[in-house]
């Protein structure tokens, strides 16, 4: 094996659950070897990875379950890269190739010879993946809790049980539920009563699990300044601060806040072709469909909280929605875009959020706002008005070169 890999320049790995196919190429792009790695036999897998030359670029497909295998290859000094599954699939379709395990590994091994890294995606470190595991476990618990509550409501609907509680699962509602399970005051059948008792027990277990996770998050927040800083942004509380920190991972991988919004499925996408039809109004832009859906949910939840907090966030929402009477969805999307911008600045600059913008350099902060407006009006009367220009072009309405008389 050492003779085969002595001149290897790049490797492509098609990852599956129980095995992986690997293709090795030399510096000229020629295939020099192919291997199959069996994942359950961990000692043999380590032995095979130890035979690969240190520093070898290995390009993996960012499919489900790549994390543990990439960490294992890091232990042996291999240079691991992740490829974008969607882009590689489009590349394979454009080349007209068939889809097999061997062909997929061959295609991945060719990516190391590309001029640019258009195919790469960010490889989250193990600590970020562990944080995501924790937050997604909590999200699963909340989803199961909601399903159990719905099933309890369904038992009430099927058997005609009525109550006057605004929240059946509040303090007084739980007393009513416990009494119903203990004494069967609604004369439920034995089967329905057993189902109701089982659902209530399951709900109690899920609530204890959620309480344990919440206590862990509170302890982690005291040790992580980032979550404390994110919590200063309006609309972002304990849970959303941890969700954003886990899903974003490293804000430095986004060049601007617009890139972060695009990754969060909050940037409008266009699909224009040809000239616009003047007989029809232009089509509106829709949000993207490929990205982090968990981040999109978190930003929208934060926007709802920010609007409820009032201030500039409520003013922005009412300005876009005409006082909340129309296009409320657009109003919340506007709030999410502003939250993305603010959070990007708070994270990248390492400063807490302040609702009042800092004064610019050279500005007299002692002067009142009314006096400043009066001075600006008086100065505008003295300065000549600019000639009108066409909107969006900066060009004057009159021609720059006058036509000569005939």
Residues 343 and 230 in one domain: yes
Integer-rounded Cα Rg, in Å, for the chain is: 30
CA distances from 336 to 71, 271, 311, 325 (A): 35, 23, 15, 19
For residue 244, the tally of other CB atoms under 10 A from its CB is 27
Q: Tell me which residue has tokens 């379709």.
A: 93
Whether residue 383 is contained in a domain is answered as no
Whether residue 388 is contained in a domain is answered as no
Q: Tell me which residue has tokens 């070898």.
A: 56
Residues 190 and 260 in one domain: no
Q: Tell me which residue has tokens 């099927």.
A: 158
Residue 38 parent element (H or E) = strand 31-38
Q: Give yes or no for a contact between 135 and 242, defined as CB atoms under 8 angstroms apart.
A: yes
Please tell me whether residue 255 adopts helix, strand or coil conformation: coil
Cα separation of 156 and 374, whole Å?
Answer: 67
CATH code for the domain in which residue 21 is found: 3.30.420.10
Cα separation of 326 and 314, whole Å?
Answer: 15
Q: Give yes or no for a contact between 152 and 196, defined as CB atoms under 8 angstroms apart.
A: yes
Task: Give the count of alpha carbons within 13 A of 351, CB side only.
Answer: 8
Residues 189 and 254 in one domain: no
Cα separation of 231 and 204, whole Å?
Answer: 29
For residue 244, give its domain range: 226-269+289-349
Residues 133 and 32 in one domain: no
Whether residue 381 is contained in a domain is answered as no
pLDDT tens by residue, 310-351: 899 999 999 999 988 888 998 999 999 999 999 999 999 999
Whether residue 145 is contained in a domain is answered as yes
Bridge partners (DSSP) of residue 341 are: none
Whether residue 371 is contained in a domain is answered as no
Cα separation of 142 and 125, whole Å?
Answer: 26
Tens-digit pLDDT string for the chain (406 aa): 444 556 899 999 999 999 999 999 998 999 999 999 999 999 999 999 999 999 999 999 888 889 999 999 999 999 999 999 889 999 999 988 888 999 999 999 999 999 999 999 999 999 999 999 999 999 999 999 999 999 999 999 999 999 999 999 999 999 999 999 998 877 788 999 999 999 999 999 999 999 999 999 888 877 788 999 999 999 999 899 999 999 999 999 999 999 999 999 998 877 666 677 777 655 666 777 788 999 999 999 999 999 999 899 999 999 999 988 888 998 999 999 999 999 999 999 999 998 876 666 555 555 555 555 565 555 555 544 555 544 444 444 444 444 455 4
């Amino acid at each position: 094996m050492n003779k085969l890999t002595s001149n290897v320049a790049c490797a492509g790995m098609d990852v599956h659950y129980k095995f992986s196919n690997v293709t090795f190429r030399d510096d000229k792009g020629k295939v020099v070897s192919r291997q199959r790695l069996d994942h359950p036999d961990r000692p043999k897998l380590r032995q095979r990875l130890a035979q690969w030359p240190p520093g070898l670029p290995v390009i993996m497909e960012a499919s489900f379950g790549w994390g543990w295998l990439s960490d294992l290859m890091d232990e042996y000094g291999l240079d691991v890269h992740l490829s974008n599954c969607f882009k590689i699939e489009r590349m394979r379709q454009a080349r007209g190739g068939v889809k097999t395990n061997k062909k997929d590994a061959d295609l991945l091994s060719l990516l190391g010879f590309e001029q640019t890294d258009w195919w790469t995606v960010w490889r989250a470190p193990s600590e970020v993946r562990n944080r995501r595991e924790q937050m997604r476990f909590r999200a699963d618990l909340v989803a199961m809790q909601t399903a159990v509550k719905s099933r309890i409501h369904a038992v009430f609907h099927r058997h005609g049980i009525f109550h006057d509680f605004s929240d059946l699962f509040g303090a007084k509602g739980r007393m009513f539920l416990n009494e119903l399970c203990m004494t069967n005051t609604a004369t439920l059948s034995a089967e329905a009563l057993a189902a109701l008792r089982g659902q209530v027990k399951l709900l109690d277990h899920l609530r204890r699990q959620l309480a344990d996770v919440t206590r862990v998050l509170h302890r982690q927040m005291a040790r992580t300044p980032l979550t404390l800083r994110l919590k200063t942004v309006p609309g972002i509380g304990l849970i959303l601060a941890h969700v954003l920190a886990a899903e974003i991972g490293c804000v430095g991988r986004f060049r601007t806040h617009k890139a972060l919004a695009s990754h969060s499925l909050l940037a409008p996408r266009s699909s224009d072709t040809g000239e616009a039809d003047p007989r029809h109004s232009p089509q509106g832009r829709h949000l993207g469909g490929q990205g982090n859906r968990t981040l999109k949910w978190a930003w929208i939840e934060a926007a709802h909280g920010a609007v409820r907090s009032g201030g500039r966030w409520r003013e922005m929402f009412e300005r876009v929605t005409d006082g909340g009477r129309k296009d409320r969805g657009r109003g919340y999307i506007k709030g999410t875009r502003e939250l993305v911008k603010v959070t990007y600045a708070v994270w990248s600059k390492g400063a807490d959020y302040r609702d009042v913008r800092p004064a610019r350099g050279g500005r007299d902060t002692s002067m009142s706002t009314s006096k400043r407006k009066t001075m600006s009006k008086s100065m505008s009367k003295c300065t000549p008005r600019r000639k009108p220009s066409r909107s969006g072009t900066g060009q004057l309405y009159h021609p720059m070169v006058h036509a000569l008389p005939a």
